Chain A
Amino acid sequence: MSAQAKRLDRGGRIDRATPVNFTFNGKTYQGCAGDTVASALLANGVHLLARSWKYHRPRGVIAAGAEEPNALLQLETGAYAVPNARATQIELYEDLKASSVNAWPSVEFDAMAINGWFARMIPAGFYYKTFMWPKSFWTKHYEHYIRKAAGFGVAPVDHDPNRYEKTNAHCDVLVVGAGPAGLAAALAAGRSGARVILADEQAEMGGSLLASTQTIDGQPAAEWVSAALAELATLPEVRVLPRATVYGYLDHNFLTIAERLNDHLPLRARSANRERLWRVRAKRVVLATGAHERPLVFGNNDLPGVMLAGAVSTYTNRYAVRLGDKAVVFTNNDSAYQSALDLHAAGVNVVAVVDPRSNPQGELPLAARAAGIRIIDASVVTEARGGKRISGVQVMGLTANGEVGGSAQALDCDLLAISGGWSPVIHLSSQSCAKAIWSDEKACFLPGKPVQAEVSVGACAGEFTLNAALAGGLAAGAQAAQLADFETGVPATPEVRDPLEQPMLALWRVPSPAKPGRGSKAFIDFQNDVGVSDIRLAAREGYQSIEHTKRYTALGFGTDQGKLGNINGMAVLAEALAQTLPETGTTTFRPNYTPVTFGTIAGRDLGELFDPIRKTALHGWHVEHGAKFEDVGQWKRPWYYPRPGEDMHAAVNRECLAARNGVALMDASTLGKVDIQGEDAAEFLNLIYTNAWKKLGIGMARYGLMLKEDGMIFDDGVTVRLAENHFVMTTTTGGAARVMTWLERWLQTEWPHMKVRLTSVTDHWATIAVVGPKSREVVSRVCPDIDFSKEAFPFMALREGTAAGVAARVVRISFSGELSYEINVNANAARQVWDAVMAAGAEFDITPYGTETMHVLRAEKGFIIVGQDTDGSVTPQDCGMGWAIKKTGDFIGRRSFSRPDTARSDRKQLVGLLTSDPNVVLPEGAQLVKNPNAPIPNPMEGHVSSSYWSANCGRSIAMALVKDGFKRMGETLHAPLGDGRVVSATICKPVFIDPEGAHQNV
């Protein structure tokens, strides 16, 4: 066949001067710029594009847009592969490569088509019924079979090379759909000065007008479209988004739009962003999403060459494709007569229009008759014939009581245009929570009463004439602008003349002349291979709810989401259950309207940008000095600083020894810090912490435990008193934000009478911990104006002075049990002070250490880390920290101590563990049992919360939460590990070094 043999010589909106070469199933074809893959293949006479999901029946293009259920293609290969792309929506570009999905080994010869012969043996619910038992068969047999038989496209396995963007947008009026109603609405709203976004899923705006033969103000419809777009381009607050699918209508007028920026370009020409997700908050929304034509349901209605009548007009008029040589039109309404006229005008032999109505007298049927087209009235197509393409139809009469009868006549054809009426595209309206209303008069669901600030206009509101679309669009656009506080009027509706139509005859399925269970399969949902018989079977088996029937039969599943099949399916179910359509109801439409790429959803929330990486003022130094980093919440904290040749173990051992024997320093800037001021500050701390604060001396510090009302540990830290009514609290690194929110919540909602002011100073203060027996000598040199003598600067005291010339607050506290000081300075000067500490400590080989060493040092002393040794179910008493609880006065969580469960003496309690083999380090999280050989389930006695190699102890140490642990000192427990080892360990007190606290008392 020569290139584009089925291309009409004249007309259409394709650019014949720009041929485009592409490949389908390995064969090269030529189309034109402006084609979709579907129109280009049809222009080459290719109708067989796909195999169906379950039965592998030959399938062709039915529709011309997003509602296409059959023509799903695998587009491109490798990293650019797109599975299940609709041929009707893929814009043709040079060197495009596409292939059929779900066909093996080829679409022409599909070995799986044998499924079709066994169709009666693969009924609805087949998978549920068959692939149930035994379980092991799932992985061995069923899954393999189902994957091979039922798979659609193939997801790319390569890294996605594309870039995806997201943006937030706000507008006064969002108009969805740029057909006549949407364009009119955008014009009316845009002229008011309102901020308008007009989005349409197609490359070219105009919707149905692009294939229309009607005139507007005496001009061809397409010229009105051009003029409208030209005017919109002059309005600075109007944004026109082609290739942009509004796929979600979420709460409070928040809508999501997937804009495709370069899918229409040849692969080699693609750069920058592939898609942009628009997250739109609209004051008002005008839905102008049009309507989808419904198929008619009869035997073999899925053969290639059976197409929706509106699509036939679109391919003929807009894409200049000659779809066949001999066409039959089968319709229950007037609109498809326009398709007969369009085919006729394009030189196609229209054999007949088959119409179940008697003697149709609408303007279009009369025009068809005048054009010499035969009308077979009061009749239906009962069955299509053909193999890989329709070759003819069987037509029978339809009696007044809805039965087929009389003699059958056969008509030869290679194209059958069908129309069962129109279903408004109410997906977005439905997503916005408006409950769809069934209209008997229009035989379709109409958008329900708006729940959000939206209105539906044009065909999606059941107004199918052009005049109504334009008038409705203009009115809705103007009103939306008015409701968004813009003054404007409704522009005059342009002059159009719509043909006078007669009512349609609802025909949900053509009665089958064959006995039940016989006859060819009549499809309702093409994509999921759901036929009339499947829905009836579901009804017989007790599925009465449409939602259940949907799940049992797969009606409306997949990428299709019931765009073509839902109404017919519901009607068949309603009939089977002897109830009305409104009683049967419709399934709920959910986002997404059409499939959305994962890339669009992910956007740039990837890699380093996925979550904030928070860095301290000293981060650069840590990087320069080879630190390995650990993520602590969102922070990057130095984990350890390996020297050349050192592994983590060696580095941590060295750091631990330095801290206990010489001097070491750590960046502790990530600790949360809250400035607390006000005359009730001490009283506030009394309520927030478990201990007493009023008597804390000025210039002194105290450790505090913070609980939730359930009595469980929530956070901890040291708070210093700067003045009578001025404190600075420190929190855990990970807890800073939630503690701040917690404190504010109590002050704002529960204790508004308390005079307390809070300010987060976490980021302002850089904190340098200087630790070890030599630390006093080092800090003395760095802070010459502070007296660091034991007497002048006792443990848990604060002194203000300067460090390396920078104003500093120095606190003598210890999280290691060693003599240690924390120097706090303005973070802008942190590097200068850190460098000064390093210089002052050089002669003692001052050693920077990271979080791992910090953890080991504190574990050697049995200090807890909230979130590691506690998990929200641990009380202070469980940790042996009853000493931190004051005897009198209330505080948050105190009352819960006397709850029976909290007061139990046999709760899990924090103890030390020493492994029998000192060289074995228990894994954190290991479960502990009494008898490792006991039958499973072996009762758990507790679990390891912290575990390290301690270079200072020369052995492993661990902390664990053990049931009734305080009373079990000396008992040996066992940790059966995942690798089969069983580690034995003896319970001890969780203090492994310097139990008297002599180290810091110097």
Chain B
Amino acid sequence: MSEAVRLQSPLVGFQLDARADAGVILRERAFCSHLNLRGEQSDPAFAAAIKQVLGLEVPFTPNTTTSAGDQTLYWLGPDEWLLVAAPEQAATLEAALRKALAGQFASVVDISGGQTVVELRGGNARDVLAKGCPLDLHPRAFGVGQCAQSHLAKCPLLLRPLADGFEVVVRRSFSDYFFSWIEDAAQEYGFSVVS
């Protein structure tokens, strides 16, 4: 997309409100490049092509991730992965991956406009997610290097534990509901939105 294009993230309009004592601190990583990848785990060429383009191993273990730099590959299903990369990379990555995967039973789809990345930190980040998400979010059960798709109340999401919080990938159309829900649920802990 050209420089002149004015972009709006799904969470456009929400006010920053940095508060030091907040138990839940939300930060959006807007405009990341999101690519949905589907391919055959059993075909060695698939992992090879991904590795060649991204330098990343494909996480074949369910509900795990691989990361390097600002790129992360998430396991979504036995033949489905999500690549999240820095903004403005989607078209380039899509083309490169398509080329590398040509001839394979694989697909690459740009879904950058369809979802956004949110990070939740603070002493009550786990508590606030637990209010609506049925996953066991305890570090013994869900640690760095893992990911999981689940729901928060009625909002589908993809979760990844960070060293000091959680990363959440939310669908665009649900992001307003997600934000309102978190803001409400975080009321008892104090809530802050940072850039």
Interface residues of A (CB under 8 A from B): 165-170, 195, 272-273, 279, 281, 604-605, 608-609, 611-617, 619-620, 635, 670, 675, 677-679, 755, 757-766, 804-807, 825-832
Contact = CB atoms under 8 A, between A and B. Distances in A.
A806 B88 CA distance: 13
Contacts of B138: 170, 195
Contact of B154 (A272, A611, A758): A611
Contact of B173 (A166, A167, A616, A805): A616
Contacts of B110: 764, 826
Given A167-B130, A763-B172, A805 B114 contact: no
A397 to B, nearest CB: 62
A822 to B, nearest CB: 16
A279 B130 CA distance: 10
Nearest to B7: A828
A167 B127 contact: yes
Contacts of A760: 111, 114
A807 B10 CA distance: 19
28 contacts: A170-B136, A279-B134, A604-B131, A608-B180, A613-B176, A619-B176, A620-B8, A620-B12, A675-B107, A757-B79, A757-B105, A759-B36, A759-B38, A762-B114, A763-B172, A764-B110, A766-B113, A805-B2, A806-B1, A807-B1, A826-B113, A827-B114, A829-B5, A829-B7, A829-B113, A830-B113, A832-B6, A832-B7
A171 to B, nearest CB: 9
A617 B172 contact: yes
Given A166-B131, A170-B141, A604-B184, A831 B6 contact: yes
A913 B115 CA distance: 44
Contacts of B135: 168
B89 interface: no
Contacts of A608: 180
Interface string B83-123: 00000000100000000000001110111111100000000
B174 interface: yes
Given A168-B130, A608-B180, A678 B111 contact: no
Contact of A677 (B107, B113, B171, B188): B107
Contact of A763 (B1, B91, B107, B115): B115
B133 interface: yes
B162 interface: no
Contact of A165 (B154, B180, B188): B188
A281 B135 CA distance: 10
Q: Which of A612, A613, A635, A765 gathers the greatest number of chain B CB atoms within 10 Å?
A: A612
A755 B105 CA distance: 7
Given A620-B12, A828-B8, 20 more contacts: A165-B131, A166-B131, A167-B127, A168-B130, A272-B187, A604-B181, A616-B173, A677-B109, A678-B105, A757-B38, A759-B36, A763-B113, A764-B112, A764-B113, A807-B1, A826-B110, A826-B112, A826-B113, A827-B172, A829-B7
B5 A832 contact: yes
Contact of A612 (B4, B9, B177): B177
Contact of A761 (B4, B5, B106, B109): B109
Give the 10 A-B CB pairs with smallest separation, nearest first: A763-B114, A764-B114, A827-B113, A826-B113, A757-B107, A614-B173, A170-B136, A677-B107, A759-B109, A763-B172
A319 B113 CA distance: 65
A806 B107 CA distance: 23
A455 to B, nearest CB: 22
A619 B105 CA distance: 37
Contacts of A807: 1, 91
Contact of B106 (A195, A272, A279, A757): A757
Contact of B109 (A604, A675, A830): A675
A762 B173 contact: yes
Nearest to B172: A763
A619 B174 CA distance: 12
A730 to B, nearest CB: 15
Q: Is the interface of A mostly helix, strand, loop or mixed?
A: mixed
A839 to B, nearest CB: 13
Contacts of A758: 38
B13 interface: yes
A44 to B, nearest CB: 37
Nearest to B34: A764
Contact of B131 (A168, A615, A670, A765): A168
A608 B9 CA distance: 21
A504 B51 CA distance: 77
B188 A759 contact: no
A806 B110 CA distance: 14
A620 B13 contact: yes
Nearest to B178: A612
A774 B31 CA distance: 34
Contacts of A616: 173
Given A805-B2, A826-B1, A831-B8, A609 B181 contact: yes
Contacts of B131: 165-168, 604
A533 B103 CA distance: 84
A165 B153 CA distance: 12
B185 interface: yes
Contacts of B12: 620
Contact of B107 (A165, A166, A273, A678): A678
Interface string B138-164: 101100000000000111000000000
Contact of B174 (A167, A612, A679): A612
A617 B10 CA distance: 7
Nearest to A806: B5
A828 B136 contact: no
B114 A761 contact: yes
Nearest to B115: A763
Contacts of B171: 763
B112 A612 contact: no
A270 to B, nearest CB: 14
Nearest to B111: A764
Contacts of B2: 805
A609 B153 contact: yes
Contacts of B107: 675, 677-678, 757, 759
A616 B113 CA distance: 11
Contacts of A167: 127, 130-131
B185 A763 contact: no
B5 A612 contact: no
Contact of B180 (A273, A609, A828): A609
A943 B41 CA distance: 53
Given A195-B138, A608-B180, A759 B113 contact: no
Contacts of A829: 1, 5-8, 113
A762 B140 CA distance: 35
A941 B10 CA distance: 48
A470 B9 CA distance: 59
Contact of B133 (A168, A620, A678): A168
Contact of B5 (A272, A609, A805): A805
Contacts of B10: 617, 827
Contacts of A678: 105, 107
B127 to A, nearest CB: 7
Contacts of A273: 188
A281 B177 contact: no
A169 B141 CA distance: 12
A281 B38 contact: no
A828 B113 CA distance: 5
B111 A759 contact: yes
Contacts of B172: 617, 763-764, 827
Q: Which of A609, A616, A760 gathers the greatest number of chain B CB atoms within 10 Å?
A: A609
A656 to B, nearest CB: 27
A170 B1 CA distance: 45
B111 A761 contact: yes
A253 B15 CA distance: 42
Nearest to B105: A755
A615 B153 contact: no
Nearest to A673: B114
A479 B107 CA distance: 50
Contacts of A612: 153-155, 174, 177
